[in-house]
Amino acid sequence: MTPSPFTRFAAWFAEAETTEPNDPNAMIIATAAPDPSARTVLLKAWDERGFVFYTNLESRKSSALKANPHAAALFYWKTLHRQIRIEGAVELVAPHEADAYFATRPRDSQAGAWASEQSRPLPDRETFEARLADIKARYEGMAIPRPPFWSGWRLVPDYFEFWQDQQYRLHERHIFQRRDDGWETGLLYP
């Protein structure tokens, strides 16, 4: 095993980027406040500080993360017969990080961030499309700024499990648990 879970993540993620037909950066985020909930988001950045995704800060997932600032992430790459589970605390990214990422988004995605009241009831699609058109008109010919209610969450891992499918369900499961002096590694039964 490699001494750092990030080294192993980098290798597996790089392989997934070359083999997965769609969204190798898709990860399921699970929250537990007030009730358990899971949804797929896209990993937009990662380093040894953690794994970042962006969303509306008034969404159901953000409300859950504010109430219980811990989450679990799951990457599953079917073509590779692999998955990675990551658990830990969450924190908001710095405003300059959110601004920098927002500036890279397609213009329609930027306008959509303003127009969407994410996770709230929508009476009909036309209502959203009208809001989107209004935002596009408001910022025509100008850069669209990041909404104050839109930012990124960073999952700061303290646990990793690397799961590799094996024949006859005799899977390999390698874990990393954060300790004060680094990462403790181990194995789990299939």
Single out the catalytic residue among 8, 125, 169, 178.
169
- CA pair distance 168, 60, nearest whole angstrom: 39
- CA pair distance 29, 20, nearest whole angstrom: 19
Tokens 């219980």 correspond to 68
* Residue-by-residue DSSP string for 99-156: HHHHHHS-HHHHHHHHH--TTS--S-HHHHHHHHHHHHHHTTTSPPPPPTTEEEEEEE
Tokens, residue 89: 């605390």
Told to judge if 169 belongs to the known catalytic residues of this protein, a careful annotator would answer yes
- CA pair distance 74, 151, nearest whole angstrom: 21
Residues linked to residue 155 through DSSP beta bridges, in sequence order:
51, 90
* Residue-by-residue DSSP string for 30-48: EEESSSEEEEEEE--EEET
Enzyme catalytic residues: 169
